[in-house]
Structure 1
Amino acid sequence: MRICTIAAALVIAVTVLGAGCMEESQPPLQTTRDAVLQEAVLAIDQELASVGASLGEDARVLGETGLSGAAGKEALKQTLLEYPWAESYLVISRDGIVVMAVPENYAGLVNTDVSSQPQVQRAVRERAPLMSEAFYLNEGFTGITQSYPICGTEYLGFVSIAYRPDALIGRTIAPLTNGTPYDIWVAQTDGRVIYDTTPEEIGRNLFSDPDYQVPGLQEAFARIVAEPTGSLEYSFWDRSWERNVTKEAIWGTAGIDGAEWRVVVTRNLDAAERQQAPAGERPPAADAAEEMKAFVASAAAYAREHDRTEALAAFNDPDGEFARDELYIFAYDMNSTVLALPFQPAFIGTNRSEVHDSSGVAYIYGMSRLAAEGGGSIYYLYPNPARGYAEELKLGYVLPVDGTWFVGSGIYIPEVATDFNTSVRETLVQRVKAARGFAQEQGRETACAAFNDLSGDFADGGAYIFAYGTDGTTLALPYQPDLIGKNRLDFEDRYGVRVILLESAAAEAGGGFVYVTYYNPDTGLDGLKLCYVAPVDEKWFVGSGVYAGA
């Protein structure tokens, strides 16, 4: 059992290293490309080391108490709350059988034989801390796993935490690039992109994706994955996917326990050649929203009156009648595949169902769900080219053409504050997941009574917990008790956003974020709120929110 002894020693070392790195004050952000790269690599490595240290401690507890003990399960639950971006946490025996799974949503995996999976075979064979490459997990999403061996008097198995790599990387990268001319993408050495400041790139492969089969680009990518560090120039689409530009790239390598991720910082060298025209004077947001809705309605009518090919040609024409300065028509099929995007033609044919904004809102998926329900409005953050690609709140509106595709447009609402920082969002997710755990343990009746108790732990001002059935029935809303029992699936906020419908859709997808303009009990006024929801089971979900600037 020498390897178990080594692993036990390693967890002490990693814990010290991880804790020390996380507690050190970070240097002020510098905007040189070398400083951005250095901070990005360091930040990713610190995140991975912190997770590894937590896994090691949990493995120690399980080694002492057994693979299925109550103490071990509680340790796993607490670790999952500590890393709110993680999706699931499993205990797997040395025979490759799932012994324990948290949260309870994944309890169905218990007793599943996963011994045929390569990453399980590797963990059992090597009996050491490991990181997998991205793969499609039994939990139902593409992600990566970090694992750690469990050793008692002998090797017992391992713990394995699963998460989307872009979630871990993004929480550290976004603050480094915001307000700078730099973009960052991260790829495995097999070419799979696991993070990109342009979300549409995530999941693609540098060597097999058709959009990357461009002269000179393959040679550049081959160098990047072959060399741990370096710099070069290459040509590719700009940030808006409107035209090809020359980019400079500098890269380094992050990763622990077998992972080798290329972290690439890029800058558009042609940016100075093209100055964005300032946005003209815009009507008040309410008037602009009505103008947008009428514009989308006219496009939907046009699409119903014309052949689909003819209609899409009109929508894809950047100089045509359906492109009016800030307003332009886009089109998707009901599966979220791009059919028309006049200023970003490279996206046509791309499925964008998993694209999310910087706060985690899966807005294309939300648009598809709204279209399937007859249409509606949705909020999301999006870079505004007219303002140096600064992220601003955008109000989108979609209408179905028929049962197979829809059209839409959007307007910016720059006067609305959208400052939801990473720690605030993660605290929000932790709060909701803790409430979900409480509901799964106590049952719906007891949990909802606790959520509705204004003197209890779950009704803390604007941080209160709410609950709905997936059919829209209100189960918990402590500051509006008169709504308990009422169906609010068709509730719309001031801009016509069907919030409960979008929250229900996010819960059915496993959990997610939704924006709403809603009453703030701390101020007595409406404000922009970022909500996170998580399913308790297939029939109801819990959620909470945080207001901009909180």
Structure 2
Amino acid sequence: MRITACIAALLIAVAVLGAGCTEESRPPPGEAVLQEAVAGINGELASVRASAGESARVLGEAGLTSAAGKEAVRQAMLNHPYTESTLVVTKDGIVAMAVPDSYAGTVGSDISSHPETGRAVRERVPLVSEVFPLAEGFAGVAQSYPVFGKDGEYLGFVSIAYRPDALIGRAVAPLTNGSPYDIWVTQTDGDVIYDTTPEEIGKNLFSDPAYQSPALQDAFSRIAAEPSGSLVYSFWDRNWARNVTKEAVWGTAGIDGTEWRVVVTQNTDAEEAPAATGERPPVADADDDMKGFVAEAALYAREHGRTEALAAFNDPDGEFVRSELYIFAYDMNGTVLALPFQQQFIGTNRSEVHDSSGVAYIAGMTRLAAEGGGSIYYVYPNPAREYAEELKLGYVLPVDGTWFVGSGIYIPEVGTEFDAEVRDALMKRVKAARDYAQEHGKETACAAFNDLAGDFADGGAYIFAYATNGTTLALPYQPEYIGENRFDLEDRYGVRVILLEIAAAENGGGFVYITYYNPDTGLDGLKLCYVAPVDEEWFVGSGVYADA
């Protein structure tokens, strides 16, 4: 969507091209992409419903608190590893079961007053909720399925919770990566639940100050009110450098009582992407230059003060923009302070922003800055390469305890194509190990993880485990490190491997890029890791290598 507060001043016109008003020989640009997106989203929703339905069947036969029911719920979540939690709720609105075990504290809670609980109990049919604040601390969607006993008596319901952008992204991300299209998805009340510009997720089209121009409100009102249609409007380009003509076409996805408007946009003007700068220096040399550049910026900020420094960092023609390098700055809470080529994000909190592989890189940068600084990998569209997603190596340093500065370089020669199936298999492997650890305890679980002849030590797909203080608990191919504290471990480019994994685990689990030893090749390789907390004291993880 790529909409900001200054669009109101730049928006030229919105021309209404109603559904069916275009020439039959020329469907709106993006129509084929739209149809794929809608079908893909509906397919994902139907798959979750099927898993919830199977869980409900077993719970109805075995009981709401049965071991068989719990195993069915666990398997449903492993079938959809991006899901966060599942609750089994009685017809009186009491939580009877919570999975994974880290949510066991909710068992016995009375949630009968929650609107979604009331709706599920009242309607007794499969439902997809609207986005609402979950107990897990994020805005999510819950898909519920009624549970009936053997005699047909209504017992309650099972509810699977997840971030809607995680489900939608599985269907949508492959359609936009490296393409001229952007896709955003909104509820009919205007809440944005997915966007290829992740900063827009969570905003409301009708109440957010960024969208209050009359033309935008007219456009959004049409999208919310009509199941399908198309519009033409003037808008920022992908590089946020100029106003361009955009064509948008939308349709509706959703099952079981929900309607999500799926909007596909395309820039119809000639794209003026920055030219590539030619041959790049070796990564090691560029990394040294970047680190020196960031150190210089941090010193400048300390000597000149926050206001003067941010003015300098936000000047696209200033001294802190050098070829591909530029300085960015963030508050320690994740709020943007300086982005010279995307200044519309200034003041926006990006702490929840993830890259295409699910890496929460802004949160990672913030944690690194709080620990004194460091490097991090993430994937980011490169405007000099037609917005192809490339691996980027970032480096940050704190200015003081309240904000930090950083910069980054692209490493395009390293492949980062981890598709949804690969990430699903990785998350499923780790969450299965987490469930095993929660069921059997630390000692038994770590012994199993360290057993080279066991199920958890499968070459490069092995399970590792660390305490949240950095102590190694399981590392089957490097047993010499077991018991050693590796909190300060850095890879070849200075990326704080264990620190970033701890940060992801403490945030409930997540993805991290590292460079690490691959037992299948005997060499270091780029690795996408996923970690999940077992409890507050330790976590498990695994990874997949880019060259695997």
In the alignment, which of 88, 109, 121 is matched to residue 112 of structure 1? 109
Question: Aligned-pair distance for 1:212?
Answer: 1.7
Separation in structure 2 between the aligned mates of residue 243 and residue 367 of structure 1, nearest angstrom: 29
Q: How does 1:383-532 map to 2 (within 5 A)?
A: 383-532=381-530
Q: Say which SS state the counterpart of residue 235 (structure 1) adopts.
A: strand
Q: Say which SS state the counterpart of residue 86 (structure 1) adopts.
A: coil
Match in the other structure for 2:5:
none
Q: How does 1:357-396 map to 2 (within 5 A)?
A: 357-396=355-394
**Contact in 1 for aligned 2:141/2:164 (Cα 8 Å):** yes
Q: Say which SS state the counterpart of residue 216 (structure 1) adopts.
A: helix
Separation in structure 2 between the aligned mates of residue 209 and residue 241 of structure 1, nearest angstrom: 20
Q: Which stretches of structure 1, 4 residues or longer, exceed 6 Å deviation after superposition?
A: none
Match in the other structure for 1:234:
233
Matched, 1:73 2:70: yes
Match in the other structure for 2:543:
545
Q: How does 1:36-55 map to 2 (within 5 A)?
A: 36-55=33-52
Match in the other structure for 1:198:
197
Q: Which amino acid aligns with 2:136?
A: E
Gaps of 5+ in 1: 1-29
Q: Which amino acid aligns with 2:53?
A: G
Please list the CA deviations of residues 328-381 of structure 1 after superposition, one character each: whole Å capped at 9, or x if unmatched: 000000000000000001000000000000000000000000000000000000
Please list the CA deviations of residues 161-187 of structure 1 after superposition, one character each: whole Å capped at 9, or x if unmatched: 000000001011111222210111100
Match in the other structure for 2:19:
none
Q: How does 1:298-377 map to 2 (within 5 A)?
A: 298-377=296-375
Question: Aligned-pair distance for 1:245?
Answer: 2.7
Match in the other structure for 1:15:
none
**Contact in 2 for aligned 1:242/1:345 (Cα 8 Å):** no
Q: Say which SS state the counterpart of residue 69 (structure 2) adopts.
A: helix
| More moved, 211-220 vs 185-194 | 211-220
Match in the other structure for 2:146:
149
Identical residues among aligned pairs (%)? 77
Q: Say which SS state the counterpart of residue 534 (structure 1) adopts.
A: strand
Separation in structure 2 between the aligned mates of residue 176 and residue 549 of structure 1, nearest angstrom: 23
Q: How does 1:119-158 map to 2 (within 5 A)?
A: 119-152=116-149, 153=151, 154-158=153-157
Match in the other structure for 1:171:
170
Question: Aligned-pair distance for 1:141?
Answer: 1.7
**Contact in 2 for aligned 1:238/1:268 (Cα 8 Å):** yes
Separation in structure 1 between the aligned mates of residue 468 and residue 127 of structure 2, nearest angstrom: 38
Question: Aligned-pair distance for 1:317?
Answer: 0.4
Q: Which amino acid aligns with 2:37?
A: A
Please list the CA deviations of residues 174-216 of structure 1 after superposition, one character each: whole Å capped at 9, or x if unmatched: 1122221011110000101111111111111111122222341
TM-score normalised by length of structure 2: 0.93
Please list the CA deviations of residues 243-280 of structure 1 after superposition, one character each: whole Å capped at 9, or x if unmatched: 4332110000000011100000100123x152421223
Gaps of 5+ in 2: 1-26
**Contact in 2 for aligned 1:419/1:549 (Cα 8 Å):** no
Q: Which amino acid aligns with 1:477?
A: L
Quote the RMSD (CA, aligned, Å): 1.3
Q: Say which SS state the counterpart of residue 93 (structure 2) adopts.
A: coil
Q: Which amino acid aligns with 2:116?
A: Q
Separation in structure 2 between the aligned mates of residue 185 and residue 275 of structure 1, nearest angstrom: 22
Separation in structure 1 between the aligned mates of residue 97 and residue 194 of structure 2, nearest angstrom: 30
**Contact in 1 for aligned 2:273/2:383 (Cα 8 Å):** no
Q: Say which SS state the counterpart of residue 416 (structure 2) adopts.
A: coil
Question: Aligned-pair distance for 1:307?
Answer: 2.2
Q: Say which SS state the counterpart of residue 244 (structure 2) adopts.
A: strand
Separation in structure 2 between the aligned mates of residue 394 and residue 343 of structure 1, nearest angstrom: 17
Match in the other structure for 2:9:
none
Match in the other structure for 2:207:
208
**Contact in 2 for aligned 1:220/1:234 (Cα 8 Å):** no
Match in the other structure for 2:17:
none
**Contact in 2 for aligned 1:335/1:368 (Cα 8 Å):** yes
Q: Which amino acid aligns with 2:358?
A: G
**Contact in 1 for aligned 2:329/2:336 (Cα 8 Å):** yes
Question: Aligned-pair distance for 1:241?
Answer: 3.5
**Contact in 2 for aligned 1:198/1:239 (Cα 8 Å):** no
Separation in structure 1 between the aligned mates of residue 110 and residue 540 of structure 2, nearest angstrom: 31
Question: Aligned-pair distance for 1:140?
Answer: 2.0
Match in the other structure for 2:60:
63
Separation in structure 1 between the aligned mates of residue 292 and residue 271 of structure 2, nearest angstrom: 36
Q: Which amino acid aligns with 1:283?
A: P
**Contact in 1 for aligned 2:29/2:249 (Cα 8 Å):** no
- Structure 1 residues 85 and 49 mapped into 2: Cα distance closer, same or farther (>3 Å)? same
Separation in structure 1 between the aligned mates of residue 160 and residue 87 of structure 2, nearest angstrom: 6
| More moved, 229-238 vs 191-200 | 229-238
Q: Which amino acid aligns with 2:472?
A: T
Q: Which amino acid aligns with 2:384?
A: A
**Contact in 2 for aligned 1:420/1:549 (Cα 8 Å):** no
Separation in structure 1 between the aligned mates of residue 271 and residue 136 of structure 2, nearest angstrom: 47
Question: Aligned-pair distance for 1:415?
Answer: 1.1
Match in the other structure for 2:180:
181
Match in the other structure for 1:251:
250
In the alignment, which of 93, 98, 109 is matched to residue 95 of structure 2? 98
Q: Which amino acid aligns with 1:178?
A: N
Separation in structure 1 between the aligned mates of residue 243 and residue 506 of structure 2, nearest angstrom: 39
Match in the other structure for 1:536:
534
In the alignment, which of 69, 81, 84 is matched to residue 87 of structure 1? 84
Separation in structure 1 between the aligned mates of residue 115 and residue 297 of structure 2, nearest angstrom: 50
- Structure 1 residues 273 and 106 mapped into 2: Cα distance closer, same or farther (>3 Å)? closer
